[in-house]
């Protein structure tokens, strides 16, 4: 049987896997379960001591992590890191850098820098200029309703 890779799949493709027996060593990532399945697992853990023990044995690291006292400084640090790395301003800077890179490496020149000067972060060059110079852009602006 030939291996199947996700990137090779096309819409509408079908495949069949060889049958196999489920063993006690099979595991599933709890986060990938639907909400109703997660509730089912939690209810079974509460009612079935053997199942509870088996789940706990397979998840010692998670249980240890969750059993430790919560450190609010970690939360503050993580909040700060996320705010600085994923803020609107930071994301805009990354996007502008990508557009500048595209501006300086044109497909017409085989990805090499064009003859025009590189676009910098100076105030005299807007992001709109960078985009429209790389690819012609024709905005459609109407102040009144277009009649059929």
3-state SS, the chain, equals CCCCCHHHCCCCCCCCCCCCCCCCCCCCCHHHCCHHHHHHHHHHHHHCHHHHHHHHHHCHHHHHHHHCCCCHHHHHHHHHHHHHHCCHHHHHHHHHHHHHHHHHCCHHHCCCCCCCCCCCCCCCCCHHHHHHHHCCCCCCCCCCCCCC
Rounded to two decimals, the pTM is: 0.36
Domain that holds residue 33: 23-67
Same domain? 27 vs 60 = yes
In a domain, 115, yes or no: yes
In a domain, 130, yes or no: yes
Same domain? 97 vs 130 = yes
Q: What is the pLDDT of residue 141?
A: 54
Q: What is the pLDDT of residue 11?
A: 78
Same domain? 59 vs 30 = yes
| Total structural domains within the chain | 2
Same domain? 99 vs 128 = yes
In a domain, 14, yes or no: no
In a domain, 122, yes or no: yes
pLDDT by residue for the chain (148 residues), tens digit each?
667 676 777 778 877 777 777 776 777 788 878 888 888 888 999 999 999 998 999 888 888 888 888 778 888 888 998 888 888 888 888 888 888 887 777 556 555 545 445 444 444 566 666 666 655 555 555 555 545 4
Same domain? 63 vs 96 = no
């Amino acid at each position: 049987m030939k291996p199947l890779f996700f990137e090779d799949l096309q819409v509408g493709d079908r495949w069949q896997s060889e049958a196999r027996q489920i063993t006690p060593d099979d595991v599933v990532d709890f986060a990938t379960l639907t909400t109703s399945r997660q509730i089912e697992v939690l209810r079974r853990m509460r009612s079935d001591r053997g199942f509870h023990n088996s789940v706990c044995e397979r998840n010692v690291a998670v249980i240890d992590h969750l059993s430790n006292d919560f450190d609010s400084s970690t939360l503050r640090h993580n909040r700060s890191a996320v705010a600085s790395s994923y803020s609107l301003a930071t994301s805009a800077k990354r996007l502008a850098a990508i557009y500048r890179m595209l501006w300086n490496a044109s497909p017409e020149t085989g990805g090499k820098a064009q003859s025009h000067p590189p676009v910098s972060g100076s105030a005299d060059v807007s992001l709109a200029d960078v985009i429209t110079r790389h690819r012609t852009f024709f905005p459609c602006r109407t102040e009144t309703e277009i009649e059929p």
